[in-house]
Structure 1
Amino acid sequence: MTRPHRPSRQPEPGATRRAAHAFDAVPPLDGELCFDEAALEAASTDFGGLIHRRPAAVLKPGSAEDVATMVRYCRERGLRVAGRGQGHSTQGQAQVPAGLVIDLGTLNSIEIRDDTATVQSGALWSTLVRATLPLGLTPPAFTDYLELSIGGTLSAGGLGGQIGHYGTQVANVLELQVVTGEGEITTCSPTLRPDLFRAALGGLGQCAIITRATIPLVPAPQSVRFYTLTCPSVEALTAQQAELIEDGRFDYLAGQVQSPSPEGWTYVIEAAAYDATSMDDARLLADLGHHTAVEAQDLDYFDFLNRIAPLVETLRSIGEWQRPHPWYDSLLPASSVNGVVTETLANLKAAALGASAVILLYPILTAKCTTPLPALPDAELAYLFSLLKTASPGADSAEEMVAANRVQYDTTVDAGGRWYPIGSVPLTPADWEHHFGAFWNEFKAARHRYDPDGILTPGQRIF
């Protein structure tokens, strides 16, 4: 039976009020420091809807200098701080009980020069691509949902269907401006403070808050030929995806396992060729042998990139988008993906997913992912396997879904996999050390160097 979900609420209101007094002597700011109920409540939760931790104040910065000023201010007073983009995490990662949440949405400027875009971290990817397309340009790599902030996805890693050609979003960054845990505004790149650059990209806000990024741009296509290929099994889907990502014929490659029908699960490959038409179908599809059906459609490039937005609006309209989302995202080596996915699906009941769940399964060429984070399996070919759950009415409770995620995490680790850390899994310090693997010592050193008092992003619970 479904139990009512009660978000974790801490600290008690008295503690929040006491902490708010610590902000009585704030220096002048370009933006606004907020204590109103609406701002505090918005910063107290996230897309997951599972954790509720109330900050003492919310900063809506008018400049990177505001961010630096308030980080220094909080450090001096022993208060903790986290940057927040769209709040799309699902386990309270950007929440700070009785501390300061920095709402980076007010830092949203975009400057395009030649073949680069310099973008403040609160800008959305949808806004950026709308700015670049009139110039015939586009960022090379996207997540499938564009209404996420630049800083948010760069702090996590940024996985999407273009990964076979361009790698992760963090592999497509030329330079960052960040504010460290000491309250210093600094620039880092592969040659300038490279240790900070490596630790900030995909670093979950542990060493610095990203305030600006310089991103390369590439020529934008006009249109997209988008194919949906149905496969008879997990093995057929992953084998076909492996062939396609290796030969690079498609510009975008992803996949889904769709909810079971009376006949069982449906396995779907999504593949896109830029500026292709029906005349290219034979060239792109003729030698493929693992699928049983093909559908094709032609889309405008932006409509292709933004195709998830109408689905999200539908989910909002029926209340599903507002329900708890105990998501689970994992990265599995090719050697174990079929076994893990097959066993998971065999034991998965509809109530464990919720009415609007999505299951993702698509390949990653790890050589294209040229930054040390996000942590990937030790394999040339890996697969993203995501269980994007919703605690819908009649489904398992959010708490039961989180407990199931922990079991799935242990299965992932046993199979040589890694977790993509945006979801809802309770991890121990030992889990985190294993997660970061060979990069752990460098990451820990960067944390001590750039956030020596450990005030940044406590919601990740890494240190």
Structure 2
Amino acid sequence: MTSSHVPAPQPEPAATPRAGGPFDEIPKLDGELCFDQAALDAASTDFGGLVHQLPAAVLRPGSAEDVATMVRYCRERGLKVAPRGQGHSTNGQAQVPSGLVIDMSTLDSVKIRNDTAIVQGGVRWSTLVRASLSKGLTPPAFTDYLELSVGGTLSAGGLGGQIGHYGTQVDNVLELQVVTGEGEMTTCSPTLRPDLFRAALGGLGQCAIITRATIPLVPAPRSVRLYTLICPSVAALTAQQAKLIGDGRFDYLIGQVHSPSPDGWTYMIEAAAYDATPADDARLTSDLDHTAVEVQDLDYFDFLNRIAPLVETFKSIGEWQRPHPWYDSLLPASAVDDVATKTLANLKAGALGLSAVILLYPILTAKCRTPLPVMPDGELAYLFSLLKTASPGADSPEAMVAANRSQYDATLEAGGHWYPIGSVPLTQDDWARHFGPFWDEFKAARHRYDPDGILTPGQRIF
């Protein structure tokens, strides 16, 4: 019997340049450049589900050098570039028609060294906290949903319940490695290229792409005692929150407003004390004015990650896949009661969707030391967010976006600012007003580090 050797079939290359297209001379990469329809389709939408723009290619970098190489390549050819973390943008901010989307999720290295974490930009916060907890440490500041990328939240600001003690996530960064719009890979910090550092943190990807961050770590608690307190009104909620963030008795503090029941809106404080026991209850809550209280004891990671099961529920019923025209604002303490009360009075039950969340919680502006995100004047500000979902029976996505613009105008009139992660149509004049005193410095950094204006066009700032 004779036999013959038949070569094993070789897989099709993931990156097949299109002849005559903009990517016809691809440089050598550690990762891959993708042109398949599945990759392009995935990069043409986001969590918001409102904007759909098809890129010409998707880079899955094997290294930060790949990012620099392809930014240089695109700059030479006049192509736009947008980094994409977990695709959690709500208005096409990480999309670029006929350009290059960089899928940052492949840059996922985490290194723990003593009391710092050195993480690549595509690392999810859940991955980082698991790694740090193995050393008994934790990052000091989180957003409430951990399945977002480090580079993504640091490009926006990163607000969460620890803000009363540690400020925003961008206040807790020691150093960045970035790739500028010129394709230069460089390091910046408060003392090394500080103008770039200031413009990259919270800078919405306009001057540089964050490829690595060095983040301080603090000792991690073992457990969390979580108190849920119900207040009778907006004014009662914000007054209690002002007291609690002022005296710092809780390690974590947020607030929510729940959709109206037959008895009206429900105003809720979530306050957590690390490593507390029932013996601490009287000290923590006995002087507070609330109508009900619920107490839970949670493992620290389960506390940080408690939104994840809710998200899985939303995914299972299709809510996570619907359009999400979110609105997030920062209001001065002097105006928060008036703006929030009027807004809620004009909302009908179900208008924001089945899975809508309304956030209302305080921020000590002195803890927010970076120029971005832009905070209102005064010692105390409030995050007021309308996290909408276009569920069946709710307002249409278009109506929600139009309502966001009206809400934005009311926010400005009250002396507030937009927290720029949501869905609001803004003009370039609006953006100049948004950045305020930092605008000239920010614009100068844009021209210095991205002189051809190729980075992150979906933000529509320049």
Task: Classify the TM-score, shorter chain.
Answer: over 0.9
Residues 145-203 of structure 1: CA distance to partner in whole angstroms, max 9, x if unpaired? 00000000000000000000000000000000000000000000000000000000000
The code of the aligned residue for 1:141 comes to A
Partner SS for 1:225: strand
Note if 1:178 corresponds to 2:178: yes
Structure 1 residue 152 corresponds to structure 2 residue 155: no
Q: Which amino acid aligns with 1:282?
A: A
> Given the alignment of the two structures, is residue 437 of structure 1 paired with residue 439 of structure 2, yes or no?
no
Deviations 1:214-255 (A, max 9, x none): 000000000000000000000000000000000000000000
Q: Partners in 1 of 2:227 and 2:148 — Cα distance?
A: 25
Instruction: Show the counterpart of 1:392.
Output: 391
| Contact residue 259 and residue 350 of structure 2 kept, 8 A | no
One-letter amino acid matched to 1:89: S
Q: Secondary structure at the match of 2:235?
A: helix
**1:295 is aligned with what amino acid?**
E
1:115 aligns with 2:108: no
Q: Which residue of 2 aligns with 1:367?
A: 366
- 2:187 alignment partner AA: T
Could you tell me which runs of 5 or more consecutive residues in structure 2 were left unpaired when the two chains were aligned.
1-16
Using the size of structure 1 for normalisation, the TM-score is: 0.95
* C-alpha RMSD of matched pairs (Å): 1.0
The DSSP-based 3-state class of the residue aligned with 2:48 is coil
Which range moves more in the overlay, 277-286 or 204-213? Answer: 277-286
Task: Give me the whole-angstrom Cα distance separating, in 2, the residues matched to 1:220 and 1:228.
Answer: 22
CA deviation after TM superposition for structure 1 residue 19, in Å: 10
Q: Which residue of 1 aligns with 2:417?
A: 418
Output the CA distance in 1 between the equivalents of 2:408 and 2:68.
36
Aligned AA (1:99): G
Aligned partner of 2:99 in structure 1 is 99
Q: Pairwise mapping of residues 276-315 of structure 1 onto structure 2 (< 5 A)? A: 276-288=276-288, 290-315=289-314
1:178–1:186 Cα contact (<8 Å) kept: yes
Give the CA deviation at 1:378. 1.1
Secondary structure (helix, strand or coil) at the match of 1:135 reads coil
Partners of 1:442 and 1:380 in 2: how far apart? 24
1:314-329, aligned counterparts within 5 Å? 314-329=313-328
- Return closer, same or farther for 1:369/1:391 CA change in 2, 3 Å cut-off: same
- Quote the sequence identity (%): 83
Normalising by structure 2, we get a TM-score of 0.96
CA distance in 2, matches of 1:49, 1:416: 30
SS at match of 2:134: helix
Matched, 1:130 2:130: yes
* Rg comparison, structure with higher value: 2
Extract structure 1 runs of 4+ deviating beyond 6 A.
Answer: 17-20
Matches within 5 A, 1:11-160: 21-160=21-160
SS in structure 1 of the partner of residue 344 of structure 2: helix
1:444 positional shift: 0.2
1:341 aligns with 2:340: yes
Q: Distance in 1 between matches of 2:391 and 2:124?
A: 28
Q: Is the 8 A contact 1:20 1:56 kept in 2?
A: no
Contact 1:229 1:292 in 2 (8 A): yes
347-356 or 52-61, larger mean C-alpha shift: 347-356
Task: Give the secondary structure class of the aligned counterpart of 2:420.
Answer: coil
CA deviation vs aligned residue, 1:387-408 (integer Å, no higher than 9, x gap) = 0000001111101100000000
Q: What is the CA–CA distance in structure 1 between the aligned matches of 2:107 and 2:236, rounded to whole Å?
A: 45
Change (3 A) 1:80 1:388: same
SS in 1 for 2:179: strand
Question: How far does residue 291 in structure 1 lie from its aligned partner after superposition?
Answer: 1.2
Output aligned runs, 1:174-253, within 5 Å. 174-253=174-253
1:158 partner amino acid = G
Helix, strand or coil for the counterpart of 1:53? coil
Query: Could you say what secondary structure the match of 1:294 adopts?
Result: strand
Partner of 1:168: 168
Checking the alignment, whether the CA contact within 8 Å between 1:20 and 1:98 is kept in structure 2 is no
d(CA) in 2 for partners of 1:351, 1:401: 12
Please tell me whether the aligned partners of residues 254 and 271 of structure 2 are also in contact (alpha carbons under 8 angstroms).
Answer: yes
1:52 is paired with a residue of what secondary structure?
Answer: coil
Distance of 1:352 and 1:74 partners within structure 2? 43
Residue pair 2:18, 2:24 contacting (<8 A) in 1 also: no
Opposite residue 170 of structure 1, the aligned amino acid is V
